């Protein structure tokens, strides 16, 4: 069996049959054997240096045996690279989710403010009316449901005010007539 390797498409020069990892395993033989185990494909985990003379790191390779040419094609990735990418993805997703939550909170605040503010104004005017001051009116000029409700309340208050004005005028006349009658009664 002849094992040769390339690094990023360039020949590394020579056979790699006897290349060992940091634990003394024959790396390329394990890759070759791993590719033959499960339907001509497989994975191998080992320790390998990124650069010559560097520290050995955990690496995972996937291999595929191509029968027509009797070759094994393999690619690998360092586990630390995977962990770094996962950490970066978690940070990115955290930022995105935080921005989405902040945006949704802002939208919710806008909606709540749009509903509560007119309701508070309606409540204040109705408290004044309850204290028998029928001159108060709502100043809400929206065309939504609360605007329509405000217009209806204003119309109702105007009608009540007009009704009370009409009722108070004859009452005053009645009291005045009664006083004049009683005034005549006192002189007799």
Domain borders along the chain are: 4-83, 134-186
Q: Tell me, what's the pLDDT at 166?
A: 77
pLDDT digits (tens, 9 = 90+) for 83-116: 999 999 999 999 999 999 999 999 999 999 888 8
- CATH for the stretch 4-83: 3.30.450.20
Q: Tell me, what's the pLDDT at 185?
A: 59
Residue 172 has pLDDT above 70, yes or no: no
Name the pLDDT band for 5 (thresholds 50, 70, 90): low
Q: Tell me, what's the pLDDT at 9?
A: 56
Share of the chain above pLDDT 70, in %: 82
Share of the chain above pLDDT 90, in %: 20
Please state, in angstroms and as integers, the Cα–Cα distance from residue 88 to each residue in 41, 78, 91, 174, following that order: 30, 16, 5, 87
For the chain, how many residues are written? Answer: 188
Residue 8 has pLDDT above 60, yes or no: no
Contact (CB, 8 A) for 48 and 20: no
Name the pLDDT band for 186 (thresholds 50, 70, 90): low
Separation of alpha carbons 123 and 144, rounded Å: 18
Over residues 47-67, mean pLDDT: 85
User: Rounded mean pLDDT of the chain?
Assistant: 82
Separation of alpha carbons 101 and 48, rounded Å: 43
């Amino acid at each position: 069996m002849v094992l040769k390797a390339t690094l990023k498409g360039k020949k590394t020069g020579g056979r790699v049959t006897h290349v060992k990892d940091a634990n003394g395993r024959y790396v390329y033989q394990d890759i070759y054997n791993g590719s033959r185990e499960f339907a001509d494909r497989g994975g191998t985990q080992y320790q390998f240096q990124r650069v010559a003379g560097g520290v050995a790191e955990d690496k995972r390779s996937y291999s595929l045996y191509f029968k027509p040419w009797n070759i094994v094609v393999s690619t690998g990735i360092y586990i630390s690279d995977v962990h770094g990418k996962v950490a970066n993805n978690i940070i990115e997703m955290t930022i995105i989710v935080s921005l989405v939550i902040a945006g949704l909170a802002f939208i919710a605040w806008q909606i709540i403010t749009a509903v509560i503010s007119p309701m508070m104004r309606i409540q204040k005017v109705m408290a004044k009316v309850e204290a028998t001051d029928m001159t108060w009116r709502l100043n809400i000029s929206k065309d939504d449901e609360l605007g329509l409700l405000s217009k209806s309340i204003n119309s109702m208050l105007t009608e009540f005010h007009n009704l009370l004005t009409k009722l108070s005028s004859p009452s005053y006349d009645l009291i005045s007539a009664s006083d004049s009658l009683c005034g005549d009664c006192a002189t007799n």
